[in-house]
Amino acid sequence: MTGADELLLRELTPAVIGVLVRRGVDFATAEDAVQEALLQAALSWPDGRPADPRGWLVTVAWRKFLDAHRSEVSRRAREQRVEDEPPPGPAETVDDTLALFFLCAHPSLTPASAVALTLRAVGGLTTRQIAAAYLVPEATMAQRISRAKRTVADVRFDRPGDPATVRRVLYLVFNEGYTGDVDLAAEAIRLTRELAGRARDEETAGLLALMLLHHARRPARTRGDGILVPLPEQDRSRWDTALIAEGVGILQAALARDRLGEFQAQAAIAALHADAPRAEETDWPQIVGWYDELLRITGSPVVALNRAVAVGEADGAAAGLAALSDVDPGLPRYAAASAHLHEKAGDLAAAARLYADAARSAPTVPERRHLTGQAARVGQALRT
């Protein structure tokens, strides 16, 4: 099967699930039937894609559902449905994708379960692909998805969902980046485009802009050996200017509607970084202003931490350390931020110690290697 066929199947998945649900199939059973239809498509489509892929999937998924229930008590009623089964061809045109987004990000689900269910039911990924992306056994992921489907089994499609919860789930997917054979960052962007096209609100547009602006820097973010490259040291000629332009355009349209939210503010900060031809030309005072807005909206201590670093760049290390003094030192990456500001202030001994502390608590191997290298570099400077 070609990559184009795989992408089409994933794009059609939520619509086909929606058709089955509208015909009275419960969500969990509909999702299982559609997964069976996707597997059959993987076997059949290499011989030729059907003229109406959506209609083909609806027909096959419906038959899978009927086959799985013929022996149940309601066999007679369901056999009557067989007589009424629609032929292959155009299917219902009602689009339930937005309802599926809301269902899969239902507040009753844990973040991990919401992510898994979204990737499978809306994203069209297989359980194996999701498990590989999250580096867990397939059986573990299958159990997680099954529990999630049971949790939302009684949730009706006609109840309004929470776009903010959906956005948070998609942002969790995006931040996983790339593992296994699925690029989760690219998948998150695809799904956020879908959501933005249906929800049409400023914050979803802001999230899409943020993803595009961050993703544009991806080629320059690591060296060939996997070592992280800090933003100021990245080769900006490797940034994807088309993604940057698209992200900035989406952000400007959202900001023009004057209903600022946290993802729009984050995207504005990312846009200012992307706009600087060189690190030295970054507009740090304006970035501090956006962090002020973001802190006002969220009250997040993580935002306060990042703001302190920006203040250090805009107004000097002493001002940055003063801002950092109001932040909880127990926060992740506090030691790394403090190390950077102490080095900027010329206190290399404190910087070396803090970089080493930060390396020991780093959440990822690339980050640990980067911080260990920073500690060694500053330590070497102390000895010369």
pLDDT in tens, 227-252: 889 999 999 999 999 999 999 999 99
pLDDT of residue 278: 95
Whether residue 215 contacts residue 240, with contact meaning beta carbons closer than 8 Å, is answered with: yes
Of all residues in the chain, what percent are helix, strand and coil, respectively (each to 5)? 70, 0, 25
pLDDT of residue 91: 46
CA 241 vs CA 103, 183, 214, 244, 346: distances in Å:
35, 20, 12, 5, 36
Whether residue 27 contacts residue 16, with contact meaning beta carbons closer than 8 Å, is answered with: no
d(CA 296, CA 282): 23
Residue 158 pLDDT class (50, 70, 90 cuts): low
pLDDT of residue 354: 97
Whether residue 275 contacts residue 304, with contact meaning beta carbons closer than 8 Å, is answered with: no
Nearest to residue 182, comparing CAs of 144, 116, 129? 129
CA 282 to chain centre: 27
In this structure, how many other beta carbons lie within 10 angstroms of the beta carbon of residue 133? 24
Residue 220 pLDDT class (50, 70, 90 cuts): very high
Report the predicted TM-score, pTM, of the whole model to 2 decimal places.
0.85
Which residue do the tokens 């015909």 mark?
23
Residue 90 pLDDT class (50, 70, 90 cuts): very low
Q: Is the predicted pLDDT of residue 186 greater than 60, yes or no? A: yes
Q: Is the predicted pLDDT of residue 286 greater than 90, yes or no? A: yes
CA atoms within 13 A on the CB side of 327: 26
Whether residue 132 contacts residue 197, with contact meaning beta carbons closer than 8 Å, is answered with: no
172: Cβ contacts below 8 Å, ≥ 6 apart: 111, 115
Residue 199 pLDDT class (50, 70, 90 cuts): confident
d(CA 140, CA 112): 12
Domain range annotation of the chain: 3-197, 343-384
Q: Is the predicted pLDDT of residue 37 greater than 90, yes or no? A: yes
Which residue do the tokens 């504005």 mark?
268
Helix residue ranges per DSSP H, 84-221: 97-104, 111-117, 127-133, 138-151, 163-176, 184-199, 202-216
Q: In the chain, pLDDT over 70 holds for what percent of residues?
A: 91
First and final CA of the chain: distance in angstroms?
Answer: 60
Residue 215 pLDDT class (50, 70, 90 cuts): very high
